[in-house]
Amino acid sequence: MAADNSMESEVSYALQQIKSGMKKSGGTTVVFLDSRDSTPRLFEINRQGEEILLKTYPELNSASAETLEQIIADTKQMAPNNKYGLVMWSHAMGWLPMNHSNTSSLIKSNVSGKIWPNTRYCGADEHPGDGSTGMKMLEIDKMADALPDNAFEYILFDVCLMGNIESLYQLRHSCNYMIASPTEVLAEASYNASGFPYEAVMPKLFGSKNELTEVCQSYYGFYNGKSGILRSASVCLIDTHELDSLYRITRTILTGKLTEMSNVDISAIQVYHTAKIPAVFFDLKGYIQQIATATAYQEFNTQLNKTVIYKASTDQFANDITIDKNKFSGLSTYIPLLKWKNTKEYLYYFQSINWSGVYY
């Protein structure tokens, strides 16, 4: 839980949910928490919903690969087990690097008069404790380097916009399954609408594929049962062992097409970006459909269905974007349009994101 940022206000709600869920669970939960105004600490939550302190830390940068490596190592030493899952709880902007271009405008709330909705960088740290100043982010290539191969049964991203093919492909060797949202994730504890409903999903986080499907169903059902702007959620469950095959098929379609795709018509492609974030998250299937032959698209779609085990979305997100179920593949992608060629994210994409190899 990287909460040395604006997610501080969501910590109490999340912990209460986790503790309630652990009373119905058969596993062990270890939490690393770095919040704004308290000492970073590692603690276990037992099946009575009680905290058991394992270790405290000096002020540190919870948005660094080194910290992530350290926390994983400390957890495996202090809470040894045969299998592990990893939940990343913080802010995120998908695969985009720190100081990416800002092409967005802010949305004013029609609920409370503030910026709405509050939503959830895989780690953002305002007080890194290393002598530097300013916000730090954990970028996707650095996160991939920090995570050991085959370390986890699953990774669940309780953060925004991580249901993108670029991030999931980069991290594919670290786990068997991933759960993520191609849209943002609400962070409004005061409205009982903040991330995954842990009271319901904790008992299911210690199983295999079937239970992980139920986690996704619970998440979708929780938000789909709400009304108004709170009825906003999307989720996908990914089989990471199918991602290499998806890459290979996509590469046969896109290789040598970078110039052609730099001017592709994006008007008919489903988007997952609201007006307050960079407009770079497009549906993967809709994008491929623009360029592939009928036969190639059928092969791609068959593999996509093997890769995305479960997907669901409300028909709107934050009253800002409409999500067409027929266009919803569960995964977003970046389209390297010509207008972005000199931006930091375009350069980062082709220098550091492995998925960009589909164009060569």
Tens of pLDDT along 95-147? 887 767 765 433 344 444 444 566 654 555 555 566 665 667 788 899 999 99
Tens of pLDDT along 272-286? 998 878 889 999 999
At 107 the pLDDT is 37
Report the chain's mean pLDDT, rounded to a whole number. Answer: 90
Tens of pLDDT along 344-354? 899 999 999 99
36 pLDDT higher than 60: yes
Chain-centroid distance, C-alpha 126? 20
68 pLDDT higher than 60: yes
Per-residue pLDDT, averaged over 42-64, amounts to 92
Q: Which residues pair with 89 in a beta bridge?
A: 158
At 109 the pLDDT is 42
Return d(Cα 197, Cα 246) in angstroms, integer.
31
Per-residue pLDDT, averaged over 28-37, amounts to 91
Count Cβ neighbours within 10 Å for each residue of 65-91 and write b for 16 or more, e otherwise.
bebbebbbebbeeeeeeeebbbbbbbb
36-42 CB contacts, 8 Å cutoff, 24+ apart: 36/3, 36/4, 36/5, 36/8, 36/126, 36/127, 37/8, 42/71, 42/74, 42/75, 42/78
Lowest mean pLDDT among 11-20, 50-59, 93-102, 197-206: 93-102
At 117 the pLDDT is 63
CA angle 168, 158, 147 (to 5 degrees): 45
Q: Which CATH class is domain 2-241+309-326?
A: alpha beta
Q: Which residues pair with 348 in a beta bridge?
A: none
Identify which has the larger pLDDT, 287 or 60: 287
At 207 the pLDDT is 86
Indicate the pLDDT class of residue 206, thresholds 50, 70 and 90. Answer: very high
Percent of the chain with pLDDT over 70: 90
Percent of the chain with pLDDT over 90: 75
Report the 10 Å Cβ neighbour count for 126.
16
Per-residue pLDDT, averaged over 153-167, amounts to 96
